[in-house]
C-alpha cells in the first residue's frame, strides 16, 4: 500500500476487530499489512486506545532484570580485580621455551617479576574501572528517575522550581 494512501473500510473494520480482540498494535499492523502508525490512527479515530499496562509491566520487569545482571557483573569485576591483585604476592611460575634444541625450563619465584606485577595491576585497574563505569551509569539513571518523580510531584502540587519563578528584573 503506498504511503499516505487512504485505507479501505474493510481494512479499518479489520483493524478495529483485531483491536477488540486485545491484539497489540504491531501484531495488527503485521497482520493487516499497514504501518503501526496507521493502526494507531484508526484506533484513536474510533475513540479507543491500546492498554499499555502490559507493556509498562514488561518494561519494568526487563529493567529489574538488567539491574540484577549489572549487579552480578559489577561483583564479578571486583572479584577478578581482587584475584589479580592477590596474585602479586603469591609464588609465580616463570618459564622459557625454545632455543636451538627447543627446550622447556621453568622456575617458581616467591613473587612475580616487576613486569608481571605491572601487568596484574593494569588488569586489576581495568576491571575496577569497568565496575565504576557501570556504577556511575546506574547512579545517573537513578538520579534521573528520582528527578522525574520529584518534578511530577511538584507539578501535581503546583509547586514551581527555581527556574519556573518569575524574574523580577524582567518586569513580569
Q: What average pLDDT does range 119-140 have in this prediction?
A: 92
Q: Report the b/e string of 15-53 with b at 16+ CB within 10 A.
A: bbebbeeebbbeebbeebebeeebbbebbeeeeeebeee
Q: State the pLDDT confidence band at 167, using cuts at 50, 70 and 90.
A: low
Task: For residue range 65-117, list pLDDT tens digits in order.
Answer: 999 999 999 999 999 999 999 999 999 999 998 888 889 999 999 999 999 99
User: 7-61: per-residue pLDDT in tens?
Assistant: 999 999 999 999 999 888 999 999 999 999 999 999 999 999 887 777 788 888 9
Q: Which residues have C-beta within 8 Å of that of residue 80, sequence separation ≥ 6?
A: 124, 127
Integer Cα distance of 34 and 17 in angstroms: 15
What per-residue confidence (pLDDT) applies to 99?
Answer: 83
Cell numbers describing residue 27: 501484531
- Residue 162 DSSP label: G
Q: What is the DSSP letter of 112?
A: -
Amino acid at each position: 500500500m503506498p504511503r499516505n494512501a487512504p485505507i479501505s473500510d474493510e481494512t479499518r473494520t479489520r483493524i478495529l476487530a483485531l483491536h477488540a480482540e486485545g491484539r497489540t498494535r504491531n501484531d495488527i499492523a503485521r497482520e493487516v499489512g499497514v504501518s503501526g502508525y496507521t493502526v494507531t490512527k484508526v484506533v484513536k479515530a474510533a475513540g479507543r486506545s491500546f492498554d499499555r499496562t502490559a507493556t509498562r509491566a514488561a518494561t519494568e520487569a526487563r529493567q529489574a532484570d538488567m539491574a540484577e545482571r549489572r549487579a552480578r557483573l559489577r561483583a564479578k569485576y571486583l572479584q577478578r580485580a581482587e584475584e589479580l591483585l592477590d596474585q602479586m604476592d603469591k609464588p609465580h611460575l616463570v618459564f622459557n621455551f625454545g632455543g636451538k634444541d627447543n627446550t622447556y625450563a621453568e622456575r617458581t619465584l616467591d613473587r612475580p617479576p616487576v613486569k608481571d606485577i605491572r601487568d596484574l595491576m593494569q588488569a586489576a585497574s581495568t576491571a575496577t574501572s569497568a565496575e565504576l563505569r557501570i556504577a556511575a551509569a546506574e547512579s545517573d539513571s537513578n538520579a534521573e528517575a528520582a528527578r522525574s518523580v520529584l518534578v511530577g510531584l511538584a507539578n501535581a502540587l503546583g509547586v514551581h522550581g527555581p527556574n519556573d519563578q518569575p524574574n523580577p528584573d524582567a518586569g513580569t
